[in-house]
Amino acid sequence: MIGQSGIAVRNVKRADAASVTELSKYSAATVHEAMGRVGLLAPYMRPIYPGAKACGTAVTIFAHPGDNWMLHVAAEMLQTGDIAVLGTSSDNADGMFGDLLATSFRARGAIGLVIDAGCRDTADLRSMQFPVWAKAVHGKGTVKATVGSVNTPIICAGALVHPGDVIIADDDGVVVVPKARAAVVAEAASRREAKEASSRERLGKGELGLDIYGMRDTLAKAGLRYFNDEAGTQEEAAYQDGAAGRQGAANREGPRK
């Protein structure tokens, strides 16, 4: 069904509200790590203003380059707490979304937009505090001519997004959590946050990450050696140069008979 046009699904199963609320406490980076370092959209997806943050359930949109028709169709499907997520059939940066659609989306309960294309009217969107994560900011207008789909699986900025999945977006980027995993990932994020709080406290007291995370043995096995001063490194370099010279001489002489 990915990439198929002509479908608009009115009602979809969304991730459970309790899991969405729990996930909203954490950053996109924390959720990504807690989920096994997966789920991030491409790093070019940036918020249109600093400090933007949103966590909600996905209403997915499959659109075609330079055509924002399906954004208007999606407005009908939005519910309170939704984030619209748009992927396109091919690469595009036209300004598909602006303040008028944002006004419509907000009235329908949407709390943000993730769009693998362009956004415009950014000054108005900042004033409205309507968060958007976009591939580009571009004033170029669009048409309404080609039918796409709403609430079907899509690829957005390299990530697979199903209707009802959880979207967490902030200054660090956008991550998608499959709705079936929302509760498990929320628990994992909580544990990771507690662990990081403990590490942060210890680091603040001057402990080193080398010791907190047990890195010294693995660094030694990987070949890292410590020297007390620069003179030690110079002695080591002289020794290595001498060893290389001796090896070279032995190679020139050939094997002993």
Residue 2 lies in a domain: no
Together in a domain, 80 and 185: yes
pLDDT tens for each residue of 175-217: 999 999 999 999 999 999 999 999 999 999 999 999 999 999 9
Residue 1 lies in a domain: no
Mean pLDDT to the nearest integer, 27-34: 98
Together in a domain, 111 and 228: no
Residue 19 lies in a domain: yes
Together in a domain, 124 and 152: yes
Together in a domain, 17 and 107: yes
Residue 207 lies in a domain: no
Which residue segment(s) compose the domain that 108 sits in? 7-197
For the chain, the domain total comes to: 2
Q: Which residues pair with 83 in a beta bridge?
A: 58, 112
Residue 257 lies in a domain: no
Together in a domain, 23 and 106: yes
Together in a domain, 187 and 225: no
Residue pair 89/3 in contact by the 8 Å Cβ criterion: yes
Which residues, including other chains, have CB under 8 Å from residue 63's CB and lie 6 or more apart?
69, 70, 71, 86, 87, 88, 89, 96, 117, 148
Measured CA angle at 117 (ends 102, 45), to 5 deg: 90
For the entire predicted model, the pTM comes to: 0.89
pLDDT tens for each residue of 217-248: 999 999 999 998 988 888 887 877 766 655 65
Q: What is the CATH number of the domain that holds 44?
A: 3.50.30.40
pLDDT of residue 131: 98
Together in a domain, 172 and 236: no
